[in-house]
Amino acid sequence: MPAGARTPEELETLLEDAFVLQDPRALAQLFQAGAMLVAGGGLAEARGRRQIARVAAQLWNAERLYLADPRQILQVGDTALMVGGHAINVVRRDDGFWRYAISLLDLEKTTVTKQR
């Protein structure tokens, strides 16, 4: 998985993929080094890639799922505001890749189907 995305829209897809695969390393690389993640649900805000990866693991343990649903993207130069059905994100482009700077997520509880 690349260290970032070529477009803000691609960044959303990569975040969803990292959630589905439950890959903390891939997820952390989608955020800037000093980024902030607020996921709610009683979890503390996370600052920096290490804390973000820890919060992601807690979200996966609680069966939380992120679904990319960007509805509006406002971009000025190397900064974009993305408003989606489950998130409000500020993203920035550095070193040629887009990464999250601030992410406010409203995550859904996954439905677990038991196999017979």
Name the residue ranges covered by the structural domains of the chain: 8-109
Task: Give per-residue pLDDT as tens, 99-111.
Answer: 999 999 886 554 3
The number of residues in the chain equals 116
What mean pLDDT do residues 84-112 have? Answer: 84
pLDDT at position 65: 80
Q: What is the pTM of this model?
A: 0.86
Q: What is residue 115's predicted lDDT score, i.e. its pLDDT?
A: 44
The pLDDT tens digits of the residues spanning 7-56 come to: 999 999 999 999 999 999 999 999 999 999 998 777 889 999 999 999 99
In this structure, the strands spanning 46-47 and 31-38 are antiparallel
Query: Edge-to-edge strands of the sheet including 87-94?
Result: 46-47, 31-38, 97-105, 87-94, 79-84, 70-76
Owner of token pair 């800037």: 32
- What class, spelled out in words, does domain 8-109 have in CATH? alpha beta
DSSP annotation of 48: S
